[in-house]
Amino acid sequence: MALSSNLGYPRIGRHREWKKVIEQYWAGNLEEAELHQKLKSIRLEHLRKQKEAGIELIPVHDFSYYDHVLDTSVMLGIVPARFEYEGGRVSTQLYYEIARGSRTQPASEMTKWYNTNYHYIVPELNDAKPQLTFNAPLEAYREAKQELGINGKPVIVGLYSYIKLAKGYASGEERAWIDRLLPLYCEVLKQLEDAGVEWVQLDEPSLVTNVTDHELNDIRYIYQTLAEAAPKLKLILQTYFDSIERYQDLIQLPIAAIGLDGVHGWESNIAQLQAHGLPEYLSLAIGLVDGRNIWRTDLQEASIKLDQLLQLVSSDRLIIQPSASLLHVPVTVEEETKLPETIKQALAFADEKLVEVVKLAGRASGHTQDWEQSVSEAEQAYKALQALEQRQQKQVLQQQIEELLAKGLTRSTSFKDRYQLQVNKHKLPLLPTTTIGSFPQTPQVRAARSRWRKQEWTTEQYDAFIAEEINRWIDHQEKLGLDVLVHGEFERTDMVEFFGEKLGGFCFTSNGWVQSYGSRCVKPPIIYADVTYSGAMTVKETVYAQSRTSKPVKGMLTGPITIMNWSFVRQDISREEVAYQLALALRQEVNALEHAGIAMIQVDEPAVREGLPLKEAAQRQYLDASIAAFKLTTSGVSAETQIHTHMCYCDFHDMIASIRDMDADVISIETSRSHGELIRSFEQQTYDLGIGLGVYDIHSPRVPAAAEMISLIERALEVLDPRLFWINPDCGLKTRGEVETLAALAQMIEATNVVRSKLLSSV
């Protein structure tokens, strides 16, 4: 009999209860004891739902107070020295200070979890002194068993992937860190074994990336040692997001099951299974339900995959599960009462995917009751979706795109020549200052938007309110002394949703929230049809802001790759086609802004890096398409129009050449939270376009001193041309409070003036 399993469940709750409880605690409105009690209630409800759905291997320790990688770090005593940690169990206050920063210390770096929109807190090994502070998986296991009678499957970030995700050690020191941390992993597993745990899921997503011979030896050493420490445990070596590397070697490890992605990387994974088989003592945990997108499973296609698998592995050695943790999808479709029925019927969120997993496990075990009906329902849902009129415009759009691609996407003038034209036009000072785009979305802004959406306010009332907010922040920016201003984006809920609401081919959920980082949740739009341009989206507010100042105001757009990567995307055409459709629509908006007199236009692409395929062989095609989509969006403007872009919270070291090829006049890029580490890339690679390295972290509530920013600026100017260097925060300021925003920007201006004076006096 095949088993049904889940890899992880969304933490946020059906109505984002998790987020609200945590933020109440941060605001000082909830005592710590109440925080623990409320989060326990949410956690138990999630376990109960999985049990009622019929999941047999229910994950425990997938729940988190902020991030599961941070949870692993504090369990292992990996706490940055600047927090003056003295050992023992990490307090709740310290836990959140590591994640968010304290009054005196910056937060740990935050970056993307592989190629997803989830962000994790990067472990800082450096001079840490590892210790097992407490056995978190054991506590989660005992809670589930005592409270609900669930014999849970503890989930742990595998040691190999944990070290690959960490920083603070030199190349060649990996084995030394394995030797420091492996005894702690052994102790965790030994205690789990003693408590009666049967299955343990060790997440090793780094095994879908390139694995060298040396790394393979480390992996063998890790798993041999773990197996000897807890020989009775059934270890699942779990991979996801793509096909596994070194399959034929890894199936020889002393494990009980190997977990493979049966959606992303299926072709390679099944080919390896067919070529090398599976040892009789191993089970196969196969993800046949997409854990990263919101469309219901094509059960006919999944059934074909199952039949292929059953020729290789008996059903009693199959574990059916999602392709990845359901952390990446919303909780339930039940809340979506406003979606068109044709679209709603084609959707499956976390709860619905659990049902699909159980159905597929039953099918693998030969239980066919209601199976044909389920297959038919899925098939009819997709046929109805495909027949929608909004999906019938591909050919016209493709012809327009091909014509533009054939003409070429290069700007009419080289960067060197057009940048001089832009300098002459705007007459900006050395080290011009700006912000990334958004300003604080206060309760008053959110309340105004809510009144307008509920039709309690007329459009005229709402527009007047937005105009007043623009006026107020234009005044703030001028008083601060910023050189290039923005209108503040007060009319926008989200940088992707806003554009989706104004373009054809999108629809929106009422409660389709997913966790992005910490308590930050986003509600990705659904691209269900062909993307079309319906008219100006940003011109009114930008032109109004420009009328209020003599300084340049940037037009602000979200780029095509980011809109695509931060949406749930249709599956009937390639992602490249979707990206080009978006670029074609955005090109028309860029041209409309230029026509309206806006001479600086920022097309943000923060999500380019996160969409980079994990397989090196596929990366070049993705990058080429991303560059082409950006240039399709921006290449139609005159030489005097300055194109900006922005990227954040990813490791860009290996992408500098591709960023250069995008040919933006100015790029702003995060470097503060990574403590300036990106600057090292410019020591090895020349970058001769305009660039601003974010000088302070906007995701932390602390206001950094000007001296911190001066240090970062001066370090950057050792390798970058000051004539091309801009000063800015590392991201938009929407989530920050007004007081801290103004204080931090004042410090940024002070730092700029100090460095500017030094440079001018040295000439």
The Cα 353–Cα 347 span in angstroms is 10
Respond yes or no: is residue 699 known to be catalytic.
yes
DSSP state of 90: P
530 labelled binding-site residue: no
Residue 17 is labelled as binding a ligand: yes
Of 61, 68, 328, 699, the active-site residue reads: 699
What is the C-alpha to C-alpha distance for residues 435 and 419, in angstroms, rounded to an integer?
Answer: 20
610 known member of a binding site? yes
Residue 497 assigned ligand-binding role:
no
Backbone angles phi and psi of 669, in degrees to 5: -145, 140
| Residue 670 marked in a binding site | yes
Phi-psi region of 514 (alpha: psi -120 to 50; beta: other; left: phi over 0): beta
566 is in an annotated binding site: yes
- Nearest Cα to Cα of residue 528 among 496, 559, 571: 571
Q: Is residue 412 part of an annotated ligand binding site?
A: no
Does the annotation place 266 within a ligand binding site? no
Q: How far is CA 586 from the centre of its chain?
A: 22
What is the C-alpha separation between 260 and 162, in angstroms, rounded? 19
For every residue of 24-42, DSSP letters joined together read: HHHTT-S-HHHHHHHHHHH
Which residue blocks in 311-349 are alpha helix, DSSP H? 341-344
CA distance 76 to 165: 15
Two structure tokens written together for 125:
């090994």
Q: Give exposure, 603-613, as e/b (b: 16+ Cβ within 10 Å).
A: bbbbbbbbbbb
Map tokens 């300021």 to a residue. 733
Q: 16 a known binding residue?
A: yes
Can you tell me the distance from the alpha carbon of 294 to that of 218, in angstroms, rounded to the nearest whole number? Answer: 37
Would you say 76 and 181 are in contact if contact means Cβ atoms under 8 Å apart?
yes
* 368, 325 contact by CB (below 8 A): no
Identify each DSSP E strand in 215-265 by its residue range. Answer: 234-238, 257-261
Q: Which residue from 610, 648, 647, 650 is spatially nearest to 115, judged by alpha carbons?
A: 610
A 10 A CB-CB count for 3 gives 21
Residue 520 annotated as lining a ligand binding site:
yes
Chain centre to alpha carbon of residue 306: 31
Provide DSSP, 52-72. HHT-SB-EES---SS-HHHHH
Q: How far apart are CA 186 and CA 188, in angstroms?
A: 5
First to last CA, the chain: 78
- The response to whether 604 counts as a known ligand-binding position is yes
Q: Is residue 554 a known part of a binding site?
A: no
DSSP 340-374: -HHHHTTB--HHHHHHHHHHHHHHHTT--TTHHHH
Is 650 annotated among the ligand-binding residues?
Answer: no
State yes or no: 377 annotated in a binding site. no
Instruction: State the Cα–Cα distance between residues 333 and 509, nearest whole angstrom.
Output: 9
Q: How far apart are CA 14 and CA 330, in angstroms?
A: 8
> Is 206 within any annotated ligand binding site?
no
Instruction: Report the binding-site residues for Zn(2+).
Output: 646, 648, 670, 731
So which residues are the catalytic ones? 699
Instruction: Report the binding-site residues.
Output: 16-19, 112, 436-438, 489, 520-521, 566, 604, 610, 646, 648, 670, 731
Instruction: Report the binding-site residues for L-homocysteine.
Output: 436-438, 489, 604
Instruction: Report the binding-site residues for 5-methyltetrahydropteroyltri-L-glutamate.
Output: 16-19, 112, 520-521, 566, 610
